[in-house]
Amino acid sequence: MPMRRGRAASIIAALLLVLVLVGAFVTQWQAVAAWWRHRTVKKLMDPAQREVVYKQILAWQRYRGMPRYTVDPLSPGEGVQDVVLCPQRDGKPFYVVVYSGPLWNNQLGLRHFELVDFDGTLVPVVDGWSIGSCDFKDLNADGVLDRIEQLEYETEEGERSRALILIPMTPEQKVKLRVFHRMHAEDARWEWTVVHTNGKFPEIRLGPIDPFTRELIPHATYRWDPSRSEYVGPSGGIDEEFFRLDDLDWVKIEDFVRRER
């Protein structure tokens, strides 16, 4: 019996060693494959090659986990207008691919864009909002570009609400600021602006536009607080003109919309 136990233990140990070696090989192979794909992906920054390279990336159809949506091939007439390089803390580049085409030549300055990680992985845009101004800025001096603009959310009942949203341009796209506000008539709708004051970090102001001066009247102001690693400012509330909701909660959104009726 002791001999049999010893032999069984040896076999198990050998199998575990094989599994460890296989796992290490797979990990190493994935790292090499990612590095090899990056040799292609980084050519996105070459205006002469970016469209061909992007089509190749779309053909790969690489995602992490179950994507919120998949990115379709370029439609007839669509192309690549620009590619924005978004620096990352780990040094691995992240790319915003801005589309061109007749659909996006509008007076609002909106563009369709998609996100590509350093290894060619397609990263669906948070909440599916892949249309925007594509005007990215580093608002909290952390070296990472941020996306800030107003988006409209629609409930299952078809009711809409507008929100100011700020998202760092990273693969995680963790929302740093989301402030919902009431849907007003076009001449009373709320807008936002970024104001550089004497402090290190600019103020993000949200409110209606004065009909006479055409200047924004701030009803909510937010500023980055490095000690708390978050934007600080008023929370508002369900019964108020606005309320802050960084983590998406449709029950609260629907409650906020209902109280606007």
Domain residues of the chain, as ranges? 38-134, 137-261
Question: How would DSSP label each residue in the chain?
Answer: -HHHHHHHHHHHHHHHHHHHHHHHHHHHHHHHHHHHHHHHHGGGG-TTTHHHHHHHHHHH---SSS-SS-PPPPPTT-EEEEEEEE--TTS--EEEEEEESGGG--TT--EEEEEEETTS-EEPPGGG--EE----B-SSSSS--EEEEEEEEE-TTS-EEEEEEEEESSSS---SEEEEE----GGG-EEEEEE--SSSS-EEEEEEBPTTT--B--SEEEEEETTTTEEES--B-TTSSEEE-SS--HHHHHHHHHTT-
Sign of the CA dihedral 230, 220, 184, 138?
Answer: negative
Q: Quick one: how far is CA 159 from the chain centroid?
A: 24
pTM to 2 decimal places: 0.79
As a whole number of angstroms, the distance between CA 177 and CA 235 comes to: 11
pLDDT by position in tens, the chain (length 261) = 554 555 666 666 555 555 554 444 444 445 566 667 888 999 999 999 999 999 999 999 999 989 999 999 998 889 999 999 999 988 889 999 999 886 655 556 778 899 999 999 999 998 888 888 888 999 999 999 999 998 888 877 777 888 999 999 999 999 999 999 987 666 568 899 999 988 789 999 999 988 888 899 999 999 999 999 999 999 999 899 999 999 888 899 888 888 765
